[in-house]
Chains A and B, each alone.
Chain A
Amino acid sequence: MKIVVCIKQVPASNDAKIDPETKRIIREGQKAIMNPFDTYALEEGVRMKEKYGGEVIALTMGPPKAEAVLREAISAGADRGILLSDRVFGGSDTWATSYALARAIEKIGDVDLVICGKQAIDGDTAQVGPGIASHLDWMQATYVMAVDSIEDNNITVKRMHEDGYDVCELRLPAVLTVVKDINTPRVPTLKGRLAAQKSEIPVLKPEDIGADPDKLGLNGSPTRVVKTQPPEPRQTDTLRIEGSPRECAQALVRELKFRGLV
């Protein structure tokens, strides 16, 4: 199987700052990490490769420093990484981003499966995975919590929803977005990390993937952000329980029962 895992570099901090002019997240000066949901997508891709054979390619779009998440992906089991990086990509919304990623996936060729995290923790849109499927005109399953089987060019997955899950069968090639219930990502080994440092990461520009520049960046982005602001901090009540350990435990249980939590 040839599997592409789409990953995104996001700010590590929950304390995201937003540019009042552009309404975009300010990334400069922020420590960057791999989007946590993408670590589950990567792990699932690597597990499939280990089970069925093939190759896992990590793909990202971003500034040159986004190369770091590709190396991290290689240290966690991806075979290689590809970075889409050019000024023309800058300012792309989810539609333009998924267009660019879809063109890159076509350029890679013979891809059987694309796996994405369900959403990125900075934008929180959950639109890029479905956008890729739409641009490629492939089947898709979102919020996948388990991959049951891959047989006869079909993949069977469990798709999580509020009341349980759906079992879905998709013909390959297909796009999956996964939730964190799907696996526990492995911790990269030192051997993997050292190998990743030596890997060559090709950097592709719009012309390398046959992308139309008018469909990229701000020009290709129909989204207009009218207003963005961080959510209000959650209101929490604090109850301090004092007394002996036994009294505290009894009071805690009483309180939890009173609030219908146990």
Chain B
Amino acid sequence: MRYHIENKVYHVEILPPKQDSENLERDLDVFVEKYTRVMDSGYCACITDNAMGHLSFQGTEMIEELGLPVLPEQVMIHLNTFHTREDLDNILSYCVEKGIKYLLVVSGDGSERLPRLKPSDIGVQGTESITSVELLQYITREYPGKFVLGVAFNPYEPEDHEFAKLKRKLWAGASFIITQPIIEKNAVVDKLIAEYPDVPVIVEAWMSKKLHLLSDAVGYTIPENTEYDPIATLKLLHQAYPKNGFYLSLLGFKTQYDLIRDLWV
């Protein structure tokens, strides 16, 4: 992950088409276009896993069915706990086969339609539900040395609780951290960076003007009438966090993509 920071490699989030897409062909074309653009730019494509509980196609099946190229430094797959054991192993095996080494391991939002891993599925005892910690342990145990594992950090959660959770995630095998989206310099993120100087921290920048979506994503209400310029904010975040990587969520490929090229100096 240090490679990404040293070489100014943006992490660009890409959402696969939803399962209930009314125009799948078009949505697949859009995905291919975005993925190809990210590859051509030398950035890292970060493919979500049923983000916000919306049923979507998996990143690995998108790559497989659409025949997309995998450049190991340029692909990150999100993986949450809402899978059957069989699906989980299929995803992980495919990643190993294709050389996809970066995984962002999260608990996930889930949905009624998604099966959640049960403790017995992955040989865990003494807990009633699987979180990202148990999933990290499973991956490091069953696929030793195959992946570089990242975890999420939410600066909007109660601080003590979030730092305690992060400690368990790092103990379970995580080696880099991606924050929840921030829109300005954040004291909790500052503390995170100070407490873990040896762990790469990737700051997530919110690139949509729709702040109400950010409120939904982080569970922290941002006033509706807040003026927000994502590109200007990204510039400020670069100044505030010059030694960190950047994850761009909901980046506008038509209007913003060309503007970010020269921002990271």
A191 touches B113 (CB 8 A): no
Q: If A185-B113, A187-B19, A187-B113 touch, does A197 touch B55 (CB 8 Å cutoff)? A: no
What 0/1 readout, one digit per residue, does chain B (146-160) give for beta carbons within 8 Å of chain A? 000000000000100
Q: Separation in Å of the A99 CB from the closest CB of chain B?
A: 32
Q: Separation in Å of the A223 CB from the closest CB of chain B?
A: 32
B114 touches A187 (CB 8 A): yes
A194 touches B113 (CB 8 A): no
Chain A contacts for B84, CB-based, 8 A: 186
Chain B contacts with A in 81-129, Cβ cutoff 8 A: 84, 113-115
Q: Separation in Å of the B117 CB from the closest CB of chain A?
A: 12
Alpha-carbon gap, A185 to B113, bound state (A): 7
Q: Does A261 contact B (CB under 8 A)?
A: no
B114 touches A191 (CB 8 A): no
Across the two chains, which residue of chain A brings its CB closest to B62? A190
Q: Separation in Å of the B161 CB from the closest CB of chain A?
A: 10
Alpha-carbon gap, A191 to B55, bound state (A): 15
B113 touches A190 (CB 8 A): no
Across the two chains, which residue of chain A brings its CB closest to B21? A193
Alpha-carbon gap, A197 to B65, bound state (A): 14
Chain A contacts with B in 163-206, Cβ cutoff 8 A: 184-191, 193-194, 197
Count residues of chain A with CB under 8 A from any CB of chain B: 13
Chain A contacts with B in 189-238, Cβ cutoff 8 A: 189-191, 193-194, 197
**Contact residue among B19, B114, B115, B158 (Cβ-Cβ distance under 8 Å from A188):** B19
Q: Separation in Å of the B77 CB from the closest CB of chain A?
A: 15
A194 touches B115 (CB 8 A): no
Alpha-carbon gap, A49 to B45, bound state (A): 38
B57 touches A190 (CB 8 A): yes
B114 touches A190 (CB 8 A): no
Alpha-carbon gap, A191 to B63, bound state (A): 11
Q: Does B216 contact A (CB under 8 A)?
A: no
A184 touches B115 (CB 8 A): yes
Q: Separation in Å of the B88 CB from the closest CB of chain A?
A: 13
A197 touches B19 (CB 8 A): no
Chain A contacts for B113, CB-based, 8 A: 185, 187
Alpha-carbon gap, A189 to B62, bound state (A): 10
Chain B contacts for A190, CB-based, 8 A: 57-58, 61-62, 65
**Contact residue among B24, B55, B62, B65 (Cβ-Cβ distance under 8 Å from A187):** B55
A197 touches B24 (CB 8 A): yes
Alpha-carbon gap, A190 to B61, bound state (A): 7
Chain B contacts for A189, CB-based, 8 A: 57-58, 61
Chain B residues with a Cβ under 8 A of chain A? 19-20, 24, 55, 57-58, 61-62, 65, 84, 113-115, 158
Listed by A's residue number, 26 A-B pairs whose Cβ atoms lie within 8 Å are A33-B20, A184-B115, A185-B113, A186-B84, A187-B19, A187-B55, A187-B113, A187-B114, A188-B19, A189-B57, A189-B58, A189-B61, A190-B57, A190-B58, A190-B61, A190-B62, A190-B65, A191-B61, A191-B65, A193-B19, A193-B24, A193-B57, A194-B24, A194-B65, A197-B24, A245-B158
